[in-house]
Structure 1
Amino acid sequence: MENTFWTALATSSLAAVVTSVGIYTVRKYTDWGQRNITYFMCFAAGVLISASFLHIIPKSLAMNPNAAPYLLVGFLGLHLFNRFFTAFVCQKNPEKEQYGIGLVPMIGIGFHSFIDGFIYSIAFTVSIFTGVLATAGMVLHEFPEGIITYLLLVKGGFHERKAMTLSFFAAALSTPLGMLISYPLISDINEQMLGALLSVSAGALIYVGATHLLPRAEQEHKKYSFVALAGGVLVAIIIVLSKA
């Protein structure tokens, strides 16, 4: 059991490192990142939406046949937060008008990364092999998640250093944190509960991709935006196949 804990901690920390590398890379080459943010948004939308429909939702329903309403909770929950934030923060503080562009995706991605930590705990408790398979699939999507979280925070008006800090906590640190919090509670986190949490995270990710990323990307009319979207879908398919 002790070896399982350290293995789960090491792999969830690896996911955080991969995300941090993505954040650091785009932070170092900020101008390049800003010029190509449309492509990153399309790519991230492809990954988040496709992975949700092809893997997270089917998996949540397999774990909990009643998980569908939680999908709606995740979607509407993030929508209501966006409405609340826009009404009570952005409109009353004109200098923060664009903050929602970065904060809403950050919350959606952060919650999903936190639930990823739960999956590391449970997967390695089942068996080392199951944990390794889960790690291979999840690490693939960590890099783009870190990049898009950072870029959208910058686009929303956050200072680069603050955007880097927030994206690190939301997209990177949340995974090992989720693992550490969930590991002592493994016996209480049954399959149905995890299925419900996965469904909530899927709803949040679909909201981020469909209402925040794609519409803003379409406004830019970049020449190869569809290619970037298709690339994100392809990566999602690879993630699904790696977990099959």
Structure 2
Amino acid sequence: IIAISGTVLAGIVIFFFLEKIIIWRHCHNAECEVHGTAGPLILIGDAFHNFVDGFVIAAAFLTSVPLGIAASLAVIAHEIPQEVGDFAILLDNGYSKRRALALNLLSSLTTLPGAVIAYFFLGATREVVPFILALSAASFIYIAIADLVPSLHRKAGLKPAICQLCLILAGIGTIAVFRLVH
């Protein structure tokens, strides 16, 4: 368990470092030449991201079917808004709706080869499955601590606080239900 916890912590540090590299090279000026090149970067990054999602889904299914289903639902839940955002970025970069949709779909399809490769690779080397899942957990934890929690603190007041608390409890409840079913 120490090795798995260490993998989660190392993953959080790695994701922090990767984000710092991306932000360091990111331009915040509206007239920056970097903005015109975001389309291809989004597509390449999303294709890699979806490939890794396939790897995580396969690792989860190799551990247990209920965990695989939970991982698949988690991936779907985070992919839908991400793909909509990617589509908007592609449109903003001058892609037609048809081309943006087709390229976005193509980059999404990399989940399948990721899952197939992982199924055969991880099937033969089952001892690395917990570490793959730990890195996946680290990515979700990093997103929560870097993006979600700070954005929750931007809305003050009793009503937003109650709504946020209910959503956090709903997330915990969902995990508890999957745990009971498992």
Q: TM-score range by the shorter chain?
A: 0.5 to 0.7
Residue by residue over 1:32-69, the C-alpha shift from the partner in whole angstroms, topping out at 9 and shown as x without a partner, is xxxxxxxxxxxxxxxxxxxxxxxxxxxxx3xxx41222
How do 1:43-58 and structure 2 match up within 5 A? none
How far apart are residue 211 of structure 1 and its match? 0.8
Q: Which residue of 78, 97, 101 maps to 1:145?
A: 78
Identity, % of aligned pairs?
Answer: 14
The CA deviation at 1:114 is: 3.2
Cα deviation for residue 154 of structure 1 reads 6.8
Residues 1:182 and 2:118 aligned together: yes
TM-score norm. by structure 1 comes to 0.51
Conservation of the 8 A alpha-carbon contact between 1:137 and 1:240: no
Equivalent of residue 76 in structure 1, options 6, 9, 13: 13
TM (norm. structure 2) is: 0.64
Aligned to 2:55: 114
Higher Rg: 2
Equivalent position amino acid for 1:115 in 2:
V
Q: Which has the higher contact order (CA 8 A, sep 6+)?
A: 1
The farther-off stretch of 77-86 and 208-217 is 208-217
Give the aligned CA root-mean-square deviation in angstroms.
Answer: 4.0
Gaps of 5+ in 1: 1-60, 124-129
Of 159, 182, 185 in structure 1, the residue corresponding to residue 91 of structure 2 is 159
Identify the residue that residue 18 of structure 1 maps to in structure 2: none
Q: Distance in 1 between matches of 2:136 and 2:13?
A: 12
Task: State the partner residue of 1:89.
Answer: 26
- Secondary structure at the aligned position of 1:66 is classed as helix
How many Å apart are 1:72 and its aligned residue? 2.1
**1:198-224 superposed Cα distances (whole Å, 9 cap, x missing partner):** 111211211111111232343355854
> Secondary structure of the residue that 1:159 maps to in structure 2?
helix
Q: Secondary structure at the match of 1:144?
A: helix
**Cα distance in 2 for residues equivalent to 1:229 and 1:108:** 33
Could you say what secondary structure the match of 2:124 adopts? coil
Aligned residues: 164
CA 140–225 in structure 1, closer or farther in 2 if over 3 Å, else same: farther
